[in-house]
Amino acid sequence: MGRVLVVDDEQSMREFLAICLRRAGHQVSVADSGAAGVAQLEANPTDVVVTDLRMPGDLDGLGLLEQVKQRRIDTEVILVTAFATADTAIAAMKQGAYDYLTKPFKVDEINAVIGRAMEKRRLIAENLALKDQVAGRVRLAQLLGRSRAMQKVFELIGKIHSTRTSVLITGESGTGKELVARALHTEGSRSAAAFVAVNCGAIPDELMESELFGHMKGSFTGAHADKPGLFRQAQGGTLFLDEIGELSLGLQVKLLRALQERKVKPVGASTETEVDVRVVAATNRDLEAEVARSAFRQDLYYRLNVIEVRLPPLRQRREDVPLLVEHFVRRFTADQGKELRGLEPAAIKRLEEYDFPGNVRELENIIERAVALAPGPTIGLDDLPVLRTSGARAQPGADASAPFPDDGVDLDRLVYDYERGIVQKALDRAGGVRKRAAALLGISFRSLRYRLDKLGFDRPPDAEPDDPD
Ligand SMILES: Nc1ncnc2c1ncn2[C@@H]1O[C@H](COP(=O)(O)OP(=O)(O)OP(=O)(O)O)[C@@H](O)[C@H]1O
Ligand SMILES: [Mg+2]
């Protein structure tokens, strides 16, 4: 069922059609001229227009159809004519009418045509919605990603952006934690209010309290005026506490209080002020481990970590690399006013195999540099820095007895690939227990740990205790 507009200069015809169509369950409005019809279409969304072909005035049925198409009004047009000549029918269809009917027509006939037009509208709408869904999957706010892992992140953001619950964003450096914090804000119900970001590692501890909670004039040397503090600046909005792991234990207590009471007490003030702020925190540290060694308060950890958004490192979502590359190439060619056609397949492949210890930020820097250096028209391998590629995809165990290739080798890369391959095999053999793997390789646990970092292996989430070798 849909919204139908009937346009006819003859009152009896308008009424007849209106009654039939309402009976069929449609929502019907009427207009008595082509011009009145256009005005109604502009004002109200309409699925289907049924218009008489011959009408006095400036706009007849074909004129109305032409206006609909010209103004890109989103509706299907059905023409009704008493004299169906092949000419008018052809003209109508050429101009994009959905169909035409000849008078006298039966009620069933008009219902069937309108039903088909509605069905077409429904299919188009469904198709658009699907396209939106697909498009939405590779982008959320400024965040790009088509990998399953990133889609999960998008879904989670979609579920929680408008709640007030605290969120902890974790992930290695450069994985996009700040972008996630901003997306939570801009996508959510607080987007009209402020997004206030503070880097807890960048502000000296003595200043942090007044920074967060504000102070009263004269409360300490240098406090020349009242200061609202970041919590109150973020009133109604979001406070992003970046590098939360750097916050001193003393301030952790005060922050916990503010979160629990939803009130802040400026330095030197005697009363507390209520605040309505959503707190989003981020860290690239393993906060759980910090809690275990009492460097981070457990109660605050639980308060912040009500919902965790965990950003996987880029090497665990390599499918996202081409998408990000395209995005950064577009951005930096525009920034630098260069015209480049993108990366050559070999260069893309090299990037897809690389481990990106610096994650998306590192990829971003690589592309910025390549865009600046590339003579054009494309970006090739030569425009990339030397990237040590992991053996995860390359063949482990380069064969030294193989004949030396005519065009030479990349020794560093061969050694790297070999080492990674062997270490991986040892880890597999040891069932992932690193101490056992170290023994199998005849090296110390500490040496293995060093190599794992160097070779771009992931740290296991539950780090084994240090081995005092
Ligand atoms: N999914 C993504 N799509 C597009 N750009 C991204 C994405 N992830 C990260 N970036 C870009 O990479 C850079 C690093 O991201 P961001 O600053 O959010 O990382 P971070 O996790 O906060 O890093 P750090 O821990 O070092 O502060 C930014 O320039 C950001 O725009
Ligand atoms: Mg950051």
Each residue's pLDDT tens digit, 144-175:
998 989 999 999 999 999 999 999 999 999 99
The C-alpha atoms of residue 198 and residue 318 are separated, in whole angstroms, by: 31
**pLDDT-based confidence at 17, cuts 50/70/90?**
very high
Given a contact cutoff of 8 angstroms between Cβ atoms, the answer to whether 143 and 179 are in contact is: yes
pLDDT surpassing 80 at residue 400: no
Q: Is the pLDDT of residue 461 over 60?
A: no
Q: How far is the CA of 364 from the centre of ligand 1 (A)?
A: 9
Percent of all residues in the chain with a pLDDT value above 90, rounded to a whole number: 59
pLDDT at 137 over 70: no
The whole-number pLDDT of residue 424 equals 87
What are the structure tokens assigned to 39, written together?
A: 């005005």
Q: What three-state secondary structure class fits 438?
A: helix
For residue 132, the model assigns a pLDDT of: 58
pTM over 0.85: no
Confidence bin at 430 (pLDDT 50/70/90): confident
Q: For residues 423 and 34, give the distance between their C-alpha atoms in angstroms, rounded to a whole number.
A: 78
Give 259 Cα–ligand 1 centroid separation in angstroms: 27
What is the pLDDT at residue 376? 80
Average pLDDT of span 376-389: 86
Ligand 1 binding pocket, CB closer than 6 Å: 142-145, 171, 173-179, 284, 324, 360-361, 364
Nearest ligand by distance to the CA of 178? 1
Ligand 1 centroid to 279 CA: how many Å? 19
Q: How confident is the model at residue 460 (pLDDT cuts 50, 70, 90)?
A: low
| Joined tokens for residue 228 | 């609202």
- In 275-317, where do the E strands start and end? 278-283, 307-310
Looking at per-residue confidence, does 329 or 393 come out higher?
Answer: 329
* Ranges of H-type helices in 239-319: 249-261, 287-292, 298-304
Ligand lying closest to the C-alpha of residue 182: 1
178 Cα to the center of ligand 2, angstroms = 5
Average pLDDT value for the chain = 88
In the reported structure, the alpha carbon of residue 360 is separated from the centroid of ligand 1 by a whole-number distance in angstroms of: 6
State residue 90's pLDDT score.
Answer: 80
Check pLDDT > 90 for residue 245: yes
Q: In the chain, what are the helix, strand and coil shares in percent, each to the nearest 5?
A: 50, 15, 40
Give the model's pLDDT for residue 412: 73
Return the residue whose CA atom lies nearest to atom 25 of ligand 1: 173
User: For the stretch 437-462, what's the b/e string if a residue is b when 16 or more beta carbons lie within 10 angstroms of its beta carbon?
Assistant: bbebbebebeebbebbeebbbeeeee
pLDDT (mean) for 240-255: 95
Phi, psi values for residue 263, rounded to 5°: -140, 150
**Which of 397, 396, 323 is closest to 360 using CA atoms?**
323
What residues sit around ligand 2, an ion, with C-beta below 5 angstroms?
178
Tokens 């030294």 correspond to what residue?
400
The Cα 303–Cα 320 span in angstroms is: 32
**Rounded mean pLDDT, 281-289:** 93
Query: What mean pLDDT comes out for the span 123-145?
Result: 75
Q: Name the pLDDT band for 308 (thresholds 50, 70, 90).
A: very high
Residue among 309, 318, 360 whose CB has most ligand 1 atoms within 8 A, to mutate:
360
* pLDDT value at residue 7: 96
pLDDT band at 360 (very low <50, low <70, confident <90, very high): very high
